[in-house]
Every structure is written in C-alpha cells, then in structure tokens.
Structure 1
Amino acid sequence: MDDQGIVLLKEAGAHGRRQTVSGAISGRAVPLARVPCFAGPGGVAGLGEERPVDAGNATALGVAVVGVLGTLLSALLTQRAGERSRKREYERAEAAQERRAETQEALACYVAFNTAVRQYLAALTDQVHELGQDGPDSVQQRLTEARDHHRDAYAEVQLRAPERITGLAGDLSRELGVVYGMVRRIVSGAPRESDSVAAARERIDALWRQLRDVRREMRINSNAPQTP
C-alpha cells in the first residue's frame, strides 16, 4: 500500500464517510465502511453498539427508590401522628384546667354564700336578743347590711350552682326572709298573731341546721373535703 492509500484510510476513519481508495490494493477500488468506536474501560467498542441492561442493577435502583420514599412517608406519618397526639394532650390539659377553674369559682361562690348566711343568722340572733330592750341602733344596721350581703351571695349561687344546690339555697333564703320579717314586725311593735320572740329563736335554730345541710351538698358538688 502506497502513501496515497494510507492517507485515504486515515481520512475515512476521521470523518466517518464512505471512501473509495482506487488502485490501493490489486488495482481495485476497496470500499471502506465507517465503524464508530470509542475507548472504554475494556478497550475499544463500537459507538452504535447497544449494550444490554443489567436486570440486577435495575432491581437495586427500584428498591432504593422505594426505600427512600418509604422513609420519607414514614417520617411524615410519624410527624402527623405526633402533632395529633400533642393536640389531644393540649385539649385534655385545657379541659382539665377549665374544670379546675370552674370548681374553684364554684367553691368561692359557696364559701361566700355560707359566710353571708352565717352573718345573717348571727345578726338575726343579736336582734332577737335585743327585743324588748333599748339596744343600740348598730344592731339593726348590722342586720340590714347582713341581709343585703346575703342577697348578693344568693344571686351568685343562682348563676353558678346546679339546680339541686340552687333549690336548697333558695329554700334557706326564703326562710331567712320569713324570720327577718317576723323580727322587724316585733321591733316595730306591729307583730302578727304567730310572731313572738320564742318563735323567732326556734326558727333561727332550725335555720342553722338547714345551713349545715346546704353546706354539705355544696362540698359534695365542689369536691371539697367533708367536715362534720
């Protein structure tokens, strides 16, 4: 092969075109086909060659993708479950706090009512003791103030207490009003036939017992410790 043939072969390999080398070999034209090639790890291989896909690699890739997605989904579900759990815990704590606040408010209301009734009964007792005597005006003033204080405390019970407590407190308050009217009529010198100092004292003693019953129900309702 002369130098011209070598040059033609080189040009055919570089440009990938079919070339004809005339007179290079035995006086005949020799067709040269472009054979794309590249250098790979294993040597020279054809560029147009289709290499088979490795099934093992594809399976491993799919498993890896599924694993990543599963991890992300699991983390998301765990986060959502944690959020729901924290929300439920917060709602339970808030409800418990509201119940405690309501219990404390009811207890304060019951204490105020009990105190007001005791002061009212004490003022009635003092007023009865002063009947027929020229006692100071402060006794009557204290009775009026105790009556007004009791009225306010009873109004608070009507707003906050359950029906049973409200009913018992109402019965007690009405009886207090009856005794107050009796005492005021005696003091003013215009008693009714059934009005007397003895009757007033008897009714006052009954009211102290009635207050104990109301107080016991209030303790039960407010979960307060029981006392004799």
Structure 2
Amino acid sequence: MNATTESLLITVVAVLGTLISALLAQRQAHRSLSEELNRLERRSSTESNRATYTALNTAARRYVAALTDQLHALRGAGDTARAAEDLRATTEDLRRARATHADCYAEIQLIAPAPVLAAAQEVNHTLNAAYGVLMRLTTATAAPEETPASAQARITDLWETTLPALRTAMRRDLRLDPDA
C-alpha cells in the first residue's frame, strides 16, 4: 500500500469515527431527553392526582362533618323557631357539602385506578346512604329502621373504616404508603 492510499484510508477512518461519535452522542442526548420528559410527565401526573385526591378527601371529610351536624341538629330540633332555623341551616350546609363531594367524586371517576376508584365508590355509597337516612329523618318520612342511631352508625363507619380505606388506597397510588 502506498503512502497516498494509507493517508486516504486514515482520513476516511477518522471522518467515519467523527461522524459515528457525533451520531452516538446525539442518540444518547435524545435518550436522556426522552427519559427526562417521561420523569416530568410522571411527576406532573402524580402532582395532579395528589391535588385531586386531596380535594376528594377534604370534600368527603366535610360531607361527613355536615352529616354529623345534621344529626345533632335533628336531635336538638324542638318546637322553637331557633331549633327549626338551625335545622334549615345545617340542611343547606349538608346539601352544599354533598354537591362539592359529588364534583370531586366525578373527577376521581375519570382518573383513578381501580383500587382507588373502588374505595371512592364505597365512600360515596356510604355518604349518600347516610344522607338519605338523615333527609328522611329531617322530613319525617323515615322507615322504622331509619333512626338517629342508625345514621350515627353509618357516620361512625365512615370515620373509622371507609374514609381511612380510601386514604390508604390513594396513598398507595401516590406511592406514599411504605407498605404499598
């Protein structure tokens, strides 16, 4: 092989090496950028879910508190104008809390994975069942088994079992629960 051919071969190898090196660097940069975008998307999704879960938890707790207030107002309802006004006020507060919860629940239905949705459905069912009992007690149309005590049992179940199960499911989805 003569000097010119060697020189040409060395030049071609050097140029190819430079081009391949640039191509590999670009490919690695693209892969890194893609991974970073995926991480940002997951973080954004987690933050969005966290906000939605927080709103649902808050709305559910306020709904339960409004149910409790309604129960207390029913127990304190007498023939006085003040007691009747208190009952009307707590009924309105309860309706607003129910509407707020319904809005948050509707959003959860669109984004939540199956375990969170199942827990949210259970909370929603129990809240609305307690609401129904209290409204029938308020309007004096309750069935014989629908008593303030049965309403209290539903509210206690919400505080002690149903709401904690929902929070656990949401924490697991957000990977905040170390047992998940």
Q: Distance in 1 between matches of 2:21 and 2:60?
A: 58
Q: Distance in 1 between matches of 2:169 and 2:129?
A: 23
The reply to whether residue 156 of structure 1 matches residue 99 of structure 2 is no
Q: Give the match for residue 67 of structure 1.
A: 10
Q: Which amino acid is the alignment partner of residue 157 of structure 1?
A: I
The reply to whether residue 112 of structure 1 matches residue 55 of structure 2 is yes
Q: Distance in 2 between matches of 1:106 and 1:194?
A: 39
Q: Distance in 2 between matches of 1:83 and 1:194?
A: 73
C-alpha deviations, 1:57-80, integer Å up to 9, x for none? x61111111111111110000000
Gaps of 5+ in 1: 1-57
The number of residues matched between the two structures is 169
The reply to whether residue 127 of structure 1 matches residue 77 of structure 2 is no
Q: Distance in 1 between matches of 2:171 and 2:50?
A: 8
In structure 2, the residue corresponding to 1:190 is in which secondary structure? Answer: coil
Q: Give the match for residue 211 of structure 1.
A: 163
Any residues of structure 2 matched to 1:7-26 within 5 Å, and which? none
The reply to whether residue 194 of structure 1 matches residue 137 of structure 2 is no
Percent sequence identity over aligned pairs = 31
Shift of 1:225: 5.7
1 or 2 for the larger relative contact order (CA 8 Å, sep ≥6)? 2
Shift of 1:152: 0.5
In terms of Rg, which structure is larger? 1
Q: Distance in 1 between matches of 2:15 and 2:174?
A: 50
Q: Which amino acid is the alignment partner of residue 151 of structure 2?
A: A
C-alpha deviations, 1:117-145, integer Å up to 9, x for none? 00000000000001141252221111000
Q: Give the match for residue 170 of structure 1.
A: 121
Q: Which amino acid is the alignment partner of residue 91 of structure 2?
A: Q
The reply to whether residue 220 of structure 1 matches residue 172 of structure 2 is yes
Shift of 1:224: 2.7
Q: Distance in 2 between matches of 1:110 and 1:175?
A: 18
- Whichever structure has more helix as a proportion of its residues is 2
The answer to whether the Cα contact below 8 Å between 2:64 and 2:155 also exists between their aligned partners in 1 is yes
Q: Distance in 2 between matches of 1:222 and 1:108?
A: 11
Q: Distance in 1 between matches of 2:46 and 2:99?
A: 26
Q: Give the match for residue 181 of structure 1.
A: 132
Q: Give the match for residue 89 of structure 1.
A: 32
Q: Which amino acid is the alignment partner of residue 92 of structure 1?
A: E
Shift of 1:221: 0.6
- Whichever structure has more strand as a proportion of its residues is 1
Supply the RMSD in Å over aligned alpha carbons: 1.2
Q: Distance in 1 between matches of 2:43 and 2:174?
A: 10
Q: Distance in 2 between matches of 1:126 and 1:79?
A: 70
